[in-house]
Structure 1
Amino acid sequence: MSTLRRWIPNQHGAWAMLAVPYLAGVLIGSPSWLQLPLFLAWLLGYCAVFHTEQWVRLRRASRNPRAAARHRRPALLFTTATLALGLPLLCAAPWLALAAAAMAPFLAVNVLYARRNRERALANGLVAVVPACGMLLVALRAGGGTLAEGLAPALACLLYFAGTVPYVKTMIRERNSEAYRRGSVAYHAVALVAAALLDPWLAVPFALYLARAAVLPGRGLGVPLVGAVEVGCSLLLLGFLVGVYG
């Protein structure tokens, strides 16, 4: 179990961001055999990037060589597994090369922030959201859907998950920052309007997201409860996206 904990990324909030847009793309469109190995490659790729970033970060930030070295083997093996699964997928669906190329600049920015030991920066978190939400388009396309069909739900995902970056900071690392709290609430107010313009039904979950951003900070909620609330919010978003666009 300790080995598993070392290999599986401990960024718990990232798993909802990896899964919900992808599942939305699958459920909005038509399920296809291609989507299952593609999802596995997506998760393996995330693990590869995570360990690569930690290896890059700790080589500069830690005086203990073992701290960085323990990420080297997982990075190599997850990268190898991603390539072993991804290359046959590219042969089956060459258009995936365009999707990978579109994501590459965002991943490069994340690695650069890791190298500077600033992976917790607000901008870095926002950059990471973009390719995760873009996977809705990839999953939808893998099921025969079109970019036009996926644009609105992908934007809705982007609005929500971008908002989780400052909101979670107000609950944990920046819980004493009034500036972060005001910024988070202001963002969610704008996101509510933008979501309603995409579809009026989306105003329902985004009004709840605004309420939690305004009410919950400063109430001393523990990390597990904060995480549980975000899992519920993510599932709520998935349900509305499938209901509105499915």
Structure 2
Amino acid sequence: MIGTKSDSLVAKKHTIRTARDDNAAQRREHSKRHHQKLWLPDQPGAWAMALFPAIGGIVVGGVSWRNVWLTAAWTLCYCFQFSAARWLGVRAHEAKDVRKRHSTIYFVPAAVYLIITAIVGIPVFVFAPKLLWWIPAYAVLAVLSFWAAWKRSERTLWGNAVAVIAAGGMALLSASLGSRFFVPAAPHERFTSRLSPVLAPNSAAATDPNSPAAVAVYQSNPLPGPHSAGLAQYYFSSPLLPKAGVIAALAFILTEYASVLFVKTMIREHGHVGYYALSIGYHVLLVALGFTSPTLLRAASGLALPRSTFASTLLWGVPTVILLLRATIFPLTHKRMKPVHIGMIEAATSVMNLVVIALVLI
């Protein structure tokens, strides 16, 4: 009898100890996940939307150390924006006692990311100074993004549009620094590097772009500019606005905003007739654009796609139909899908968009 009671007591103590250990493990795991969420965005779909345009720009423009470096800096910038937006949201809306505690928690990652982003990002502008032309545009987008965070309007249509434009524009910046489009800063170097295949291999102009012979060739044959060509042709052929980069940026912006509307009809606005109609209408316009863009671009002077009109039409038109079917069918489910499943659908279509945009432009 005594032995039975003793065994029962030991079993109870073991059960209590096991429960305590399990609770402690759960608390440690929860603390670890919470710490990770402070430093890293926890939405795979958001990562894809932020980084795929920059990666697409690398593919379209050609891999170079400049656009890889730019993409790394952009990744850090995205992490900074994520942390800073949460800090601003807490500062603006939490109660005073909660604000003081949470403000410090969110401020540290934002400050660290800001410093690291500056360290990594500033050299990009040193080695590619023409990127400085984009600072005003991205400064405006940053102000709007942080204003949306302060007002807790990041999930609104205009707040999402700001994020999509900023991410999509990276396709253009990344492509402009690629091996296909980036050229040296000195004008006579640009000229001789483009003409080097047709110059005499052993000539001074071909071997040394800084030589008097190279400078003389450049001065006697200046590069095309607004004085000798249409403005559209001149600027779209410049390193800042490579044709393929512009088209890639527009394609990413349009398809990513379609994803924004689709996700809204699946989660926050599931069952909302107005948002569903808006999403379907946008996707129908996207389909029309997908099938007509190659013809329109070929008709525009100097903006023809590398592939044939028929091939480009199929490559862009068919995927937009897939996006339309996605936006039409999935939101009609009576039961909301789990976010992880929606994320899987988004990941698949994001990869499809990246591959298709690259195939059309290279």
| TM norm structure 1 | 0.95
Deviations 1:9-68 (A, max 9, x none): 224322111221111111112210112221111010111111111111111211112223
Match among 245, 256, 277 for residue 182 of structure 1: 277
Match among 21, 42, 53 for residue 21 of structure 1: 53
Establish whether residue 209 from structure 1 lines up as the match of residue 304 from structure 2.
no
Deviations 1:175-220 (A, max 9, x none): 0201101110000000111122223120111100001001000323
Give runs of aligned pairs for residues 227-246 of structure 1, distance below 5 A.
227-246=343-362
Match among 164, 168, 176 for residue 259 of structure 2: 164
Counterpart CA distance in 2 for 1:91 and 1:97 is: 9
Give runs of aligned pairs for residues 84-123 of structure 1, distance below 5 A.
84-123=119-158
Counterpart CA distance in 2 for 1:70 and 1:11 is: 20
Residue 111 of structure 2: aligned partner = 76
Q: Do the aligned partners of 1:107 and 1:128 also contact (CA within 8 Å) in 2?
A: no
Q: Do the aligned partners of 2:173 and 2:245 also contact (CA within 8 Å) in 1?
A: no
Establish whether residue 133 from structure 1 lines up as the match of residue 162 from structure 2.
no
Give runs of aligned pairs for residues 50-65 of structure 1, distance below 5 A.
50-63=82-95, 64-65=98-99
Match among 178, 181, 184 for residue 143 of structure 1: 178
Note the C-alpha offset of 1:242: 1.4
Greater Cα radius of gyration, structure 1 or 2: 2
Identity %: 30
Match among 182, 188, 191 for residue 286 of structure 2: 191
Counterpart CA distance in 1 for 2:169 and 2:113 is: 22
Counterpart CA distance in 1 for 2:321 and 2:103 is: 43
Q: Give the residue type in structure 2 aligned to 1:176.
A: G
Counterpart CA distance in 1 for 2:135 and 2:349 is: 28
Counterpart CA distance in 2 for 1:79 and 1:233 is: 32
Larger mean Cα displacement after TM superposition, 78-87 or 211-220:
211-220
Match among 42, 52, 60 for residue 74 of structure 2: 42
Please list every run of 5 or more consecutive structure 1 residues that lacks an aligned counterpart in the other structure.
Answer: none
Counterpart CA distance in 1 for 2:52 and 2:291 is: 20
Counterpart CA distance in 2 for 1:41 and 1:185 is: 36
Q: 1:12 to 1:67 in 2, by over 3 A?
A: farther
Q: Give the residue type in structure 2 aligned to 1:158.
A: I
Counterpart CA distance in 2 for 1:88 and 1:152 is: 27
Q: Give the residue type in structure 2 aligned to 1:27.
A: V
Q: Give the residue type in structure 2 aligned to 1:83.
A: A
| Partner SS state of residue 331, structure 2 | coil
Number of equivalent positions: 246
Q: Give the residue type in structure 2 aligned to 1:162.
A: Y
Counterpart CA distance in 1 for 2:141 and 2:38 is: 25
